[in-house]
Structure formats: structure tokens, C-alpha cells
């Protein structure tokens, strides 16, 4: 009904027939009785035979599922449905391969270069040497799925993809959706156009099969997606290659993926006597905990009682779909005080970044169809972009704070808190360009008001010290890109100068961290430059695809004008001046 309401609203603005809603057979759920639901999954995960719940659901079966389930039934009968830790451990060792990495093979991207083009953009010799060393990380993160996964898909949680790809790193051994966007940006700057094209083709293959892109290429992720970045991936590829034939061959699949979000994620919000269509994260999936975090979700749900547990599980999955898993952004808020993870209610909060991403996606579809000389489709998606823009302008824009803020549907008000995601409309260009100067000034004031300009280790994603990994004091690479390029793309001072300061600090912090640990991390401490971040439900991971991508982005933009000698001191002096 929500989607049809959205479509009805759209018809008012359209004089031509729409070609939306083609996703008639979206497969949201994983029906595996081993990897996604059922007694086997519950028994193994609650036995705590692995420190990380993801470890088990990444293991593949030595036999067909019928044999695995039969052996489990025998175990339960022999133990009166109450096997002990050692018995569960033995069952897993006898029925599952003990190395999930064995589904994947290392792969050498054929377009990787020892001296990538990005080096020509870097003036400072020390930074140039560092980036050349970082460039060697791409092959370390390169993987390809073994043919046997395609031959026996029922034995694996891994979703088969035909082409090689870049993984984030650490426990994240498969391809992930929004991680890949920033990794692709970096790869394109390193001349790895063919690898990016192959990854896009992997995404297209999955969309054609399932109707959308799951969170990651695992069957247990089929209950949710991740922030919608596909159109922006394609746009980045097109900027470098101008491969119009590639676009023409795949435009219908790109459109299909956006249609999924338009169908599934929009709700009506009434404000100022008008009704707007805005997007929020939600899932339509199997009941129960997230399989890859089963124990953690189950234990938290026990604190709530059976009447609230299913709602909790759904909001946890929706929170994971946001990419911000987890954060006080999704917690209940009473009198300005945030709750904790057990108060999560993701589905009732309208996020700034999701709506900006979707507005940008719709505008890009309009641009793509214009390039392909299809004016009717171009006009359609242009008006779709305008409708989403209306929600950004009238629901998410807060006039008092002069900033976009998440909106609380239950409390019918803005959630007046700093989040790095507040800058997503700047990043996506989802605003009236005539207001760029005013937005540049108000955005800088927003950062200064919350003290963000004083951090030397990167801009924290929030100021809420909840203990969750997507909160203070963690600085995530992708959000540095959103803030920095959001400011830079306004084209106005003081935003552009601050963008350079923040980018320079981030590069220096990453350099310090790499010099100390010889790795890149998925997240960093905003307080201690170069130190890795913490919190959340797993240890900090190394690799790391999007960290590498953002470093390459910043070097491409500012590499000709910064140096290792003055980067830290310049950042300090600029902060003092501010």
C-alpha cells in the first residue's frame, strides 16, 4: 500500500506512463534450515563454539543439506535434545569444512599496476611512496569464488559471483554492497577499470536473480540490503570510461534495483498540512535473530520478553541494512536521552543519508536515460528525484538548526543530534544549487557547533558515546568522504577550505596508523590519530577496502598541494584559527 500511495503521488507529477514496479518476485528471505533459521542454527550458535557468530554461518557443508539435517536429528535424539558443548563441536567438525576461506581463491586482478595513475597526482615524495605501498593492498583483498560453489550452491551460504572482486577485509570475506562503492572509487583512480566492471557485472547478476542487492554475498543476507549505491557506482565507472555500450546493456538492471527501494522503503509523513513520501530502512524477512549475529541478538531479546522480541529482531536487521550497525541513531530517545540497543526502533526513523542516496540515484537514472536518448524515462526519473527532494527539503531540513536532521516518525519531530550522515545531501548534490553558499556556511557552523573541527583523528560519526561502533569516538572512512566532499562540492568558502583541512588530517592520521601497525583499519579513533576504533559486537577489522578507497580519493583531490611535513601542523593551525 505504501508503494502504491507513492506511485499515486507520482502520477500527479507525470503525464506519461510509468514503468515502475517490475520487481514482482523479490526474494527477501533465506529459507535454509541450516544458515538462516531452525533448530540447527539455534543450537550451534547458542553453544558458543566460536567467538564470532559469523564464523559458523560462513562454513560450508561437507554433504548435501539433507545429510547434514539428518545427522543433526540423530544428535538431538541421542542427547534428548540437549547436546553439550563438546557434542555440538564434534557435530560441526564432522559436517562442516573448518575453513570458510576454502570457498574462495586468491585472484590477481589483471589490471592492477605497480605504478598506478594516482601517483601522478601526489607531489610529496613520502606520501607518494606510502600510496604506492598501499596500492599493493588491492591484490591482497582480491578474491574469486571457486566453481564448486556454483556446482553445489545448496552446501554454501556464499552466493556465487562469476567475476573476481575486492573484499573489505578481515572477517568480511565476501563482496559487500556499500563498501564496494568507496573501494571502486579508489580502484578507478588506480586504473583498475576492468576489475570495477567485473564487480558491477556481479551485482547485475545478483539483481537479476534476487531482485535486489543483498547486504553481502551470503544467503543469510538475503533478508536485507545495504545503502543503495549502485547507480553511483555506475556513474563513477562512466566518469572514467564513458562506456556507453556498458550502460545501455545494463540500464534495465540498474533501474530494477532502484525500483526495489521505491517499492519497499517509502512511508508517508504529514508535516505542515502536507503529505510527503520519505524513505526509511525496513526489512521483510524471516523471523528470528540475524544468523551472523544470532547469539548477540538472541541474548538481547531475552531482556525484552516474547511480545517484543520479533519487533526487536526486525529493527536490528533494518539497522544492519542501514550500514550503521549499530548506533544511537536508531535508539529510542526520551527527553534528549538515548536508550540502548534493546530500545532500537530503526523503522520509525527517517534517515537523512538514505533519502539523499535515493534522490541522487533517481537523478542519475534520469541522466543515464538522457545519455541513451530516452527522454520519457529521463523525465520520469527526474520527477521521481524531485519528489524525493521534496521530502528532504520539507521533512528532513531543520530550519532552526539550518541542517538536515533525521526525523522521528513516532514523535513527529527532528532528532536534533549531530551525525556525519547529516552531510549526505551535500555529498549527493541533493539541494537547490542557488543555496550552495548559504549551505556551505551553515554546514561549517554545524560542524563547529558540535566541536567536530577540533578532532585530529578524523571526524567522528556522532557525539553519542554509546559503546556502539557507529558512534563516538569512531571515525569511519566512508563518512569522511561524505563530509569532506559534501563541503568541497558546494564550491564556496569557508566549506572548501575546511574540506581540505579535514581531508589532510585524515590522510595524516591514516599515515600514522599505517606506520605504526602496517595495516589499514575499517575505522579509526577521532581522538587519537592513527589508532583504530572499537566498540560494537566484533573486534576491529583490518584490510580495508573502503579505507584504501577514501585515501585514494583524497589524494586525487589534494595530493598536488599537501605534504607530510606540514599536514599535521597546518591542520592544527587551521583548527586554532577556527
Catalytic residues: 325, 522
Q: From the DSSP assignment, how many helices (H) and strands (E) are in the chain?
A: 22, 14
- List, as one string, the DSSP characters of 259-320: HHHHHHSEEEEEETTEEEEEE-------SSS-GGGHHHHHHHHTTT-HHHHHHHHHHHHHHH
Phi and psi for 538 in degrees, rounded to 5? Answer: -150, 160
Q: Which residue, among 480, 471, 450, has the nearest Cα to 550 in the 3D structure?
A: 480
Partner residues linked to 404 by β-bridges: 397
DSSP code, position 160: P
Separation of alpha carbons 355 and 378, rounded Å: 20
DSSP code, position 393: I
Separation of alpha carbons 545 and 187, rounded Å: 10
Do residues 119 and 125 make contact, with C-beta atoms less than 8 angstroms apart? no
252 SS3 class = helix
Residue whose grid cell is 563513477: 236
Within 10 Å of residue 209's Cβ, how many Cβ atoms? 11
Separation of alpha carbons 62 and 33, rounded Å: 16
Amino acid at each position: 500500500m505504501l508503494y502504491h500511495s507513492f506511485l499515486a503521488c507520482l502520477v500527479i507529477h507525470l503525464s506519461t506512463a510509468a514503468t515502475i514496479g517490475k520487481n514482482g518476485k523479490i526474494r527477501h528471505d533465506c529459507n535454509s534450515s541450516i544458515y538462516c533459521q531452525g533448530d540447527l542454527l539455534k543450537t550451534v550458535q547458542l553453544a558458543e563454539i566460536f567467538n564470532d557468530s559469523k564464523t559458523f554461518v560462513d562454513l560450508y557443508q561437507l554433504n548435501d543439506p539433507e545429510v547434514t539435517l539428518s545427522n543433526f536429528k540423530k544428535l538431538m535424539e541421542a542427547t534428548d535434545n540437549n547436546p553439550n558443548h563438546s557434542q555440538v563441536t564434534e557435530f560441526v567438525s564432522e559436517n562442516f569444512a573448518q575453513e570458510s576461506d576454502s570457498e574462495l581463491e586468491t585472484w590477481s586482478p589483471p589490471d592492477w599496476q605497480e605504478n598506478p595513475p594516482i601517483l601522478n597526482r601526489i607531489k610529496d615524495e613520502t606520501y607518494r611512496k606510502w600510496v604506492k605501498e598501499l596500492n599493493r593492498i588491492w591484490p591482497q583483498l582480491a578474491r574469486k569464488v571457486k566453481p564448486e560453489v556454483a556446482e553445489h550452491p545448496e552446501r554454501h551460504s556464499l552466493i556465487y559471483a562469476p567475476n573476481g572482486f575486492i573484499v573489505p577485509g578481515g572477517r568480511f570475506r565476501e563482496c559487500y554492497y556499500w563498501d564496494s562503492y568507496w573501494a571502486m572509487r579508489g580502484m578507478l583512480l588506480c586504473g583498475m577499470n576492468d576489475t570495477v566492471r567485473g564487480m558491477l557485472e556481479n551485482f547485475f547478476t545478483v539483481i537479476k536473480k534476487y531482485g535486489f542487492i543483498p547486504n553481502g554475498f551470503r544467503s543469510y543476507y538475503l533478508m536485507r540490503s545495504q545503502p543503495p549505491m549502485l547507480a553511483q557506482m555506475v556513474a563513477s565507472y562512466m566518469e572514467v570510461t564513458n562506456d556507453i555500450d556498458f550502460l545501455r546493456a545494463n540500464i534495465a538492471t540498474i533501474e530494477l534495483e532502484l525500483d526495489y527501494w521505491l517499492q519497499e522503503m517509502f512511508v508517508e509523513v504529514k508535516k505542515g498540512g502536507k503529505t510527503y513520501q520519505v524513505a526509511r530502512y525496513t526489512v521483510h524477512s524471516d523471523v528470528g535473530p540475524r544468523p551472523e549475529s544470532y547469539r548477540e541478538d538472541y541474548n538481547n531479546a531475552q531482556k525484552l520478553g516474547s511480545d517484543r522480541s520479533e519487533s526487536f529482531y526486525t529493527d536490528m536487521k533494518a539497522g544492519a541494512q542501514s550500514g550503521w550497525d549499530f548506533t544511537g541513531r536508531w535508539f529510542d530517545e526520551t527527553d534528549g536521552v538515548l536508550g540502548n540497543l534493546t530500545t532500537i526502533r530503526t523503522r520509525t526513523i527517517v534517515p537523512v543519508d538514505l533519502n539523499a542516496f535515493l534522490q541522487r540515484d533517481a537523478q542519475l537514472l534520469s541522466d543515464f536515460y538522457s545519455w541513451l536518448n530516452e527522454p520519457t524515462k529521463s523525465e520520469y526519473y527526474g520527477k521521481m528525484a524531485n519528489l524525493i527532494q521534496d521530502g528532504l527539503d520539507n521533512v528532513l531540513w531543520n530550519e532552526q538548526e539550518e541542517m538536515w536532521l533525521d526525523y522521528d516518525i513516532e514523535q513527529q519531530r527532528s532528532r536534533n543530534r549531530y551525525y556525519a550522515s547529516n552531510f549526505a545531501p551535500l555529498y549527493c548534490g541533493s539541494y537547490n544549487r542557488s543555496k550552495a553558499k548559504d549551505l556551505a556556511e551553515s554546514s561549517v557552523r554545524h560542524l563547529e557547533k558540535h566541536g567536530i573541527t577540533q578532532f585530529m583523528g578524523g571526524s567522528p560519526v556522532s557525539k553519542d558515546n554509546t559503546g556502539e561502533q557507529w558512534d563516538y569516538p569512531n571515525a569511519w572512512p566512508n563518512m569522511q568522504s561524505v563530509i569532506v566532499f559534501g563541503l568541497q562540492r558546494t564550491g564556496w568558502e569557508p566549506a572548501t577550505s575546511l574540506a581540505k583541512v579535514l581531508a589532510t588530517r585524515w590522510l595524516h592520521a591514516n599515515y600514522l596508523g599505517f606506520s605504526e601497525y602496517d595495516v589499514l583499519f575499517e575505522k579509526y579513533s577521532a581522538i587519537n590519530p592513527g589508532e583504530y576504533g572499537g566498540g560494537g559486537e566484533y573486534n576491529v577489522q583490518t584490510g580495508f577496502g573502503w579505507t584504501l578507497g577514501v585515501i585514494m580519493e583524497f589524494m586525487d583531490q589534494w595530493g598536488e598541494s599537501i605534504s607530510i611535513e606540514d599536514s599535521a601542523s597546518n591542520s592544527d593551525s587551521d583548527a586554532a584559527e577556527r
